[in-house]
Structure 1
C-alpha cells in the first residue's frame, strides 16, 4: 500500500513542479504586475496622443468597416499571410497553430488525459468563442465606440463564434475608429484601459491583422489596374471563336420522286473542310439588372452537298454566311420590371429560343459548347420562324424568398418582317409566331427543369406578300431547309397556319449525370388545301465534368421532324407520310483544355436519311475547338 502511494506521488510531482515553474515565469510575473498597476490607475484617466503607440490600421477603412460579427458554420479557412516585418516568423507561427488545432481535434475523446489538456493562448483556437476574453473585450469596445454597425436588419448578433480572421477584421474597424477619435482631438472619450485592451488584442492577432492588410493592399492594386484598363465603365466585351474540321460519309441515296429526293449520295460530293466562326458580344448594363447586347458575327460555313433532306446534317454552330461577311447577329435589350418580371425586346434575327431567354430545359443549348448538331441542341419547334422584331415578358410566379422552386409564365411575339413597311409586312401583317410557356425550374429538390410550350405561327409562301422570300426564315420541319425531312416542310405553295406543342424536361440525377429530352408536335394547315401533322422527339444524356472539371459528355438519340400524317389533298407521298422512320444518333465529348479553350470531337449517325430506308446511312464527324475571351 505504501509503495503504491509513493508511486502516485512520483507521478504527480512533475505536474506540480511544472505548475510552479509556470507561475514563476517572467510572463506570469509581468501579467500580475500589469494587473496590479491597472487596478491602481483610475479608469477614467485620459491619455494624450503622445503616450499611445498603436499598430497602424488598414489604410482603407471604408472597405472593412463596418464588419458584422457573424457565425461561421464551417472550419476556418487559412488565408495567405502577408507580413510587414517578419513574414517568416508569422508564417511559422500560423503553421504551428494550425498543426496544434489538427492534433487537438484528432485527439478528442481519446481518454481522460486529453480532457486535462490546457489551451494556454487564444492563438491556439480556430474560432473566437463568445466566452473568450478577446471576444468579450472587443464586444465591450464595439458597444462603447460604435465601431461596428451590425447587420442590415439592425441586429448585432454578438453571441456567435467568429473565425480569427473575422475577429481581426472587426478589431481593425475598432482600431480605425479609435485612431480617428484620437486624431480629431476628442477629449474624455478614449481611456487608458481601452488602449491597453487594444494593445493586447493587437499582439494576440498580429498575424491575422497582417494578413488582412496584405489582402486589402492586393485588392486595391488589382482594382486600380482594372479601372485603368477597363474597356468601358458600362460595357463588357466578350468573344468566342470556333475552329471546326468536319467531313461527311455515306452511301448512295435513292432517287424516289414520291419522297421528293433530288440529290444523289454524299460520298463523291464532299471533302474534308475547315470552317470557322467568330462572335463579339458587347453587353452593356445601365442599372446593374438590365442588359443591352449587340453581337457581331462572321463565318465561312457552306453546307454539305448530297444530303437527301437538305437539312438533317447541319451542324449546331453554322452561320448563314460563307465568306466572312460581318453582320449584327443579335441585338436585344432585357430589363426587370419589379421583382418578378423580366421584359425582353429583340431588334433583329431572333428565334423563339432567344425570345424565351433560352428557357428550353436542355443541357446542350450552347452552339459553341453544347451539342455538335443543330438538331441536338434543343426542340426544333423553337426554330419555326426567325423574327426580325420581337418582344417577350417573363413573370415569376413563386417568391424566391420562400422557395427555391421557380415557376414562371412566358409570353412572346415575333414578326418575320417587322422592319418592312410594305403591304403584308410590318409587325402584324406578315409572318409571325406567338409563344406561351410554363416553366418550372429546380423542382423535386432542385433537380428537375420542366417546360410546356405552345406556339402559334403564320408562314407565307414565295408568292405571298407576307413572305416574299421564305428561305430567309430558318423554319425547322415546316418550310425551308432547316431540319427534318423534305415532306415535313409541307411545301405546297400555300400559306401555312401552324400550332405547335412542346414538352421539354431535364433531370439531374447526380452532379455527373443528367437525363432529359423533348417532344414536339406541329399541326400544320395549308390554307385552302389540307392539314398535316409533324412530329419530332429526342432523349439526351449529359455527363458534366466527365473525367475532369469543365468537361462534358453528351449523347442524343431522337427523330428529326417527320411527316406522320396528312390529307390526301396535299399530295405528300404515297400514304400522306414519310416512307420510313430515320433516327438521329449523336455522341460528343467536350474536353476543357483550359478555362477558356475547349476541344469537342463528335459524330452524328443518321439512319434512313430523309426518313427513307432506301437511303444509305450518313455519318458526320467534326472536331470543334472553341476559344472564349
Structure 2
C-alpha cells in the first residue's frame, strides 16, 4: 500500500469510526487516550531541577533550525496528523509537539485553515460534530505535518477502546455488521503497530521502575565535571627579573562535583566539591612565579591558598523564590557576583555558568573589574524582576566573613556591596547592565585569590595597597551584549575604579574589552570566540602614595589582552577548547616583551 493512498484514506477511516460512535451514543463523542510519556527522565528533572531564574540568564548557543519534511506530491503534503485529531500523545517514534493547545470548538479558531482547503469540510465535521480537534497554542492546526503509522495506530486504538466500552454497555444492537467488519479489518491491518506500541510501553515502564530503584536520590541531582589541560608559555619574560620565563609544557587536571538539591521544587541547595593541580601561567605578583604578574591569568587554575590535589568545599549556596519575581541567594562560601548570575547574563558565551565552567581561556575574558574585587566568601544576594524586561540585583559578600579574628568577620572585615540594573530587549537578543560596587579591605588581610585588594587580574600596581593601610574602592561598570544572529554575537564593557588608600591618597583604574562570539562555527554545537581589551591598569596615583614603582607612579604604558579560542564538542558530554592568550607590554610596561600562552582544555561532563 502506498503512503499516499494510506494517508488519504486515514481521514475517511477516522470519520467512519467517529460516525459509528455517534450512532452508539446519539450525541457527538470525544475520544481521548493517554499514553505513558516517552522520556521517563523528565519526571526526575522536573522534581529535582533548580528553580528558574527570575529572568533569562544565558543565551541558547545551540539554536536548532526548524525543518518540515515534505511529502512526494501535493496530496501527501495535506496529511492531517491523527495525533491532533484525537488528542493522543504519539509514541516514542516521533515526539509530540510541546505547544499543543486544548480543544477547539469551531474550525474558525484555526488560523491556518481556510474554506478553500481540500480537507476543510472534514475538519469542520470533526470540530463541530465530534469535538476531537486540538490545535496549537498559536491558534494553528499545522495540517501539512507528516503522519506516521504509529500515530494513526495510537489514534485508532483510542477509538477502538471507546467502541469496545460502548459495546460492553448493552448497545451492540445499534452497531451495523458491516461497520464492525470494517473496524475488524482496521484492527488486523494495524495489529503489528499496536503490538509494537504495547511493547514499547512495557519497556518504558520497566525502565522507569529500574531508574526509581537505582536513582542517586529522590531530591538531589549530581553534576560532575573533570578537565585535563595542556598548557605552555610560548613567549615572555618575568617582569621582575627581566629574564626569559621557562617554556615548559604542562599536563594538569581538576575535578568538580556539584550536588543540587530541591526540597519543595521552588528552591535549590547547591554544594560544590573540587580539587586539582592546574597552575595558571599568569598567577600573582611575585618574582618567584612564572611571569610575575596577574595578566593573562587563566580561568582554570587551582586555588592559590589551598594545597594542590586537595578536595575543598568551593561553594555552599541556598536559593529560593519567595515570589515568582524575586530570587534570594544565601551563600556560606561562594563567588557572589558570578554564583548568582549577576555578571553571566551580560557575557554568556565567554563566562558560561558556574555549574558548567568558563568558556573563555582567561579570567579577564569572563567579566569586567567591577565583579572581580569580591573574592570568595559568605554573603547574600537578591534579584528582583521589575516588569518583563528589567532586573535589579543587590549583593553583599564578605571574603573573610568566616574568620572571627580582628579585622575579619562578616560585618567588620573585608566586604563588597554590589548593585546592578539590567535591561533586556523584548526578544532577549540585547541586554545592557549598569553596575556599582563599594568595597573595603582592612590592612594586612588577604582573600582566597591571594590579594588584599584589587581585581586579581591586570597590572601589579592596580592590585597593590599601602602596607598597614585600609583601602576603599568605588567601582562603576557598563556592560552590553547583542545577539546579532543565531551564529554571531558581540559583547563589551568599560569599567572605572576609584581607590582610596586611607590616610595616604587616591588612585584610579580602568579596563575595557570587546568580544565576538560565533556559535555553531564550522560544526553544530561548537563555539568560537575572540576578545580584545585592556586588563585593569592604574591610570592615576596621588603624589604621596607609593605602591612599589615610586611615589605617585601609576602604570606608564597600555597593555592589550588578545584572546582567541575554539570550543569543539565531541558528543554531548565531551568538549575540547584550544586557545591562545597574547599580552602586549606586560605589566603595562612597553619595555617588557610580549607574552603568549597556548592552552588546550578538554572537559568531561557526567
Task: Work out the CA distance in 2 between the residues paired with 1:343 and 1:190.
Answer: 66
From 325, 328, 350, the equivalent of 2:313 is 328
Q: Secondary structure at the match of 2:434?
A: strand
Are the structure 2 counterparts of residues 105 and 125 from structure 1 closer, same or farther at C-alpha, using a change threshold of 3 Å?
Answer: farther
Contact 1:353/1:360 (CA < 8 Å) preserved in 2?
no
Tell whether 2:266 aligns with 1:289: yes
The within-5 A match list for 1:14-29 is none
Task: Work out the CA distance in 2 between the residues paired with 1:360 and 1:137.
Answer: 47
Task: Work out the CA distance in 1 between the residues paired with 2:73 and 2:523.
Answer: 33
Contact 2:234/2:597 (CA < 8 Å) preserved in 1?
yes
From 498, 508, 513, the equivalent of 1:533 is 508
Partner in structure 2 of residue 487 of structure 1: 461
| Matched length | 507
Q: Which runs of 5+ in 2 are unaligned?
A: 1-8, 27-31, 39-65, 86-117, 282-287
- Give 1:306 shift: 4.7
Deviation track 1:282-314 (CA, whole Å, cap 9, x = no partner) reads 111223332211111001123445555521132
Partner in structure 2 of residue 365 of structure 1: 351
Q: Which moved more, 1:358-367 or 1:337-346?
A: 358-367
Are the structure 2 counterparts of residues 359 and 454 from structure 1 closer, same or farther at C-alpha, using a change threshold of 3 Å?
Answer: same
Partner in structure 1 of residue 243 of structure 2: 265
Contact 1:580/1:611 (CA < 8 Å) preserved in 2?
yes
- Give 1:472 shift: 3.0
From 222, 244, 247, the equivalent of 2:232 is 247
Are the structure 2 counterparts of residues 331 and 266 from structure 1 closer, same or farther at C-alpha, using a change threshold of 3 Å?
Answer: farther
Q: Secondary structure at the match of 1:577?
A: coil
The normalised TM-score by structure 2 is 0.72
The normalised TM-score by structure 1 is 0.70
From 572, 584, 602, the equivalent of 1:625 is 602
Contact 1:578/1:612 (CA < 8 Å) preserved in 2?
yes
Partner in structure 2 of residue 228 of structure 1: 213
Contact 1:309/1:484 (CA < 8 Å) preserved in 2?
no
Contact 2:236/2:244 (CA < 8 Å) preserved in 1?
yes
Partner in structure 2 of residue 342 of structure 1: 327
Q: Secondary structure at the match of 1:570?
A: coil
Tell whether 2:455 aligns with 1:472: no
The within-5 A match list for 1:66-105 is 101-104=71-74
- Give 1:102 shift: 2.0
Contact 1:496/1:527 (CA < 8 Å) preserved in 2?
yes
Deviation track 1:65-121 (CA, whole Å, cap 9, x = no partner) reads xxxxxxxxx9987xxxxxxxxxxxxxxxxxxxx8xx422359x9xxxxxxxxxx9xx
The within-5 A match list for 1:295-444 is 295-304=272-281, 306-320=289-303, 321-362=306-347, 363-366=349-352, 368=357, 370-399=359-388, 406-441=389-424, 443=425
Are the structure 2 counterparts of residues 209 and 340 from structure 1 closer, same or farther at C-alpha, using a change threshold of 3 Å?
Answer: farther
From 522, 546, 567, the equivalent of 1:590 is 567
Are the structure 2 counterparts of residues 490 and 193 from structure 1 closer, same or farther at C-alpha, using a change threshold of 3 Å?
Answer: farther
- Give 1:152 shift: 13
Q: Secondary structure at the match of 1:364?
A: helix
Partner in structure 1 of residue 430 of structure 2: 448
- Give 1:351 shift: 3.9
Contact 1:127/1:162 (CA < 8 Å) preserved in 2?
no
- Give 1:227 shift: 2.4
- Give 1:589 shift: 1.1
Task: Work out the CA distance in 1 between the residues paired with 2:412 and 2:561.
Answer: 37
- Give 1:583 shift: 0.7
Tell whether 2:520 aligns with 1:545: yes
- Higher RCO (CA < 8 A, seq sep 6+): 2
Partner in structure 2 of residue 20 of structure 1: none
Deviation track 1:250-271 (CA, whole Å, cap 9, x = no partner) reads 3545xxxxxxx6444343x452
Task: Work out the CA distance in 2 between the residues paired with 1:205 and 1:451.
Answer: 59
Task: Work out the CA distance in 2 between the residues paired with 1:312 and 1:193.
Answer: 86
- Give 1:176 shift: 3.9
Q: Secondary structure at the match of 1:426?
A: coil
Task: Work out the CA distance in 1 between the residues paired with 2:271 and 2:212.
Answer: 23
Partner in structure 2 of residue 511 of structure 1: 486
